[in-house]
Amino acid sequence: MEATKQIQKRMNRIGSKKNYVVESHLNDKKKNQDLVQVKKSSEGGTEVINLILEPDKYEELSMKTRLTFDEFCDCINTFIGSEEDDWDSLRMKDQINLSRDEIIAETMIKYAKEELKIDTDKATGREISYAKSYDEQGVYAGEIITVSLTNMNQFGVY
């Protein structure tokens, strides 16, 4: 019984354990209330523009910016063309998720172009990445989608 009291006393002195990853993410979230966050970096003549969409901003983005029918078809056709070799080996769930993410990415790029006045036409490369998002209690809130646009103007490529 004495050991239990000592452990309890020591735990009260230490306090609750903090999750610094969650706290850092929440601080960034409070600072950046933009619909699509933009982070630019440049290194060695290569410019990278990261467009970041938090999971709680999906609805707001869909109300603000929508792809036209032609833009939607172009997006899907371009995506399917790039995935054609692997398409049959993908599970249906993966096909749906990849298609959804491409549509979201294309919508984010359209928003950045129209609303934020970012020249996305110069991008020579594009990559979609994901990160987990948590709420104030540390509960999983969804995935953050980041679209990275690369511009290699050093080589005269636009």
pTM for the structure as a whole: 0.73
Compute the average pLDDT of residues 107-113. 93
Helices (H), the chain: 2-14, 20-31, 58-64, 69-83, 92-114
Tally the domains of the chain. 1
Q: Tell me if 100 sits within 8 A of 94, measured CB to CB.
A: no
pLDDT tops 80 at residue 9 = no
pLDDT tops 70 at residue 52 = yes
111-128 per-position pLDDT tens digit: 999 988 888 888 888 899
Domain holding 80, by residue range, is 2-155
How much is the pLDDT for 158?
45
136 pLDDT band (50/70/90 cuts)? confident
Helix (H) or strand (E) holding 41: strand 37-43
